[in-house]
Amino acid sequence: MSQDFLKLYWMNPTAGETDGTEISQDTEAAPVESGWPRQWLKPWIQQASRPILCAARCRKPLFTESALIVPEGESADCWRLAPFVTARDPVWLAWGQGLQLWTIGAKNRLFWLQARAKVADMDDGRRTDSRVNLRVRAKLYEVR
């Protein structure tokens, strides 16, 4: 599957629209940012970020009946996802678990994303984490 066929977006995407900022692929040009200022982090707690609203969208005229979005990489266990049901109280999956989204077309299909800081990362003074990718697995079809 080419990277141009199904993409992920963030920065306040709207359900059923085509807005949002594309999340970079294979580069660090436009990564998802979830951070807490370092002074707010408490090293004895693995604090979670605020929920981040994201979207998946296919390029016209393509669609998928099902897509699996999975955090992969060294720190995949510091990311979790949730389906978008309402704007409040996401029902989170386990940390590192993949999310199944159904019927993605040319309009935004929303989901939630959340990150947490690892104690070891705070000790290192790490402020960015490029050790994880969101991998999307889907079979695409052409609308006729």
Burial of 111 (0-12, 13-18, 19+ CB in 10 A): buried
The model's pTM is 0.85
How far is the C-alpha of 51 from the C-alpha of 71, rounded, in Å?
A: 15
Total tally of structural domains belonging to the chain: 1
Domain boundaries, position 97 = 6-142
Q: What is the per-residue pLDDT across 25-57, written as a single tens digit (0 to 9) for each?
A: 777 777 777 765 555 555 555 678 889 999 999
Residue 1 placed within a domain = no
Residue 109 placed within a domain = yes
Residue 15 placed within a domain = yes
Residue 80 placed within a domain = yes
Residue 60 placed within a domain = yes
Instruction: Give the number of other CB atoms < 10 A from CB of residue 81.
Output: 25
The helix (H) or strand (E) run that includes residue 122 is helix 119-124
Residue 106 placed within a domain = yes
Task: Quickly tell me which residue has 């436009």 as its tokens.
Answer: 30
Q: What is the per-residue pLDDT across 122-140, written as a single tens digit (0 to 9) for each?
A: 555 555 667 788 999 999 9
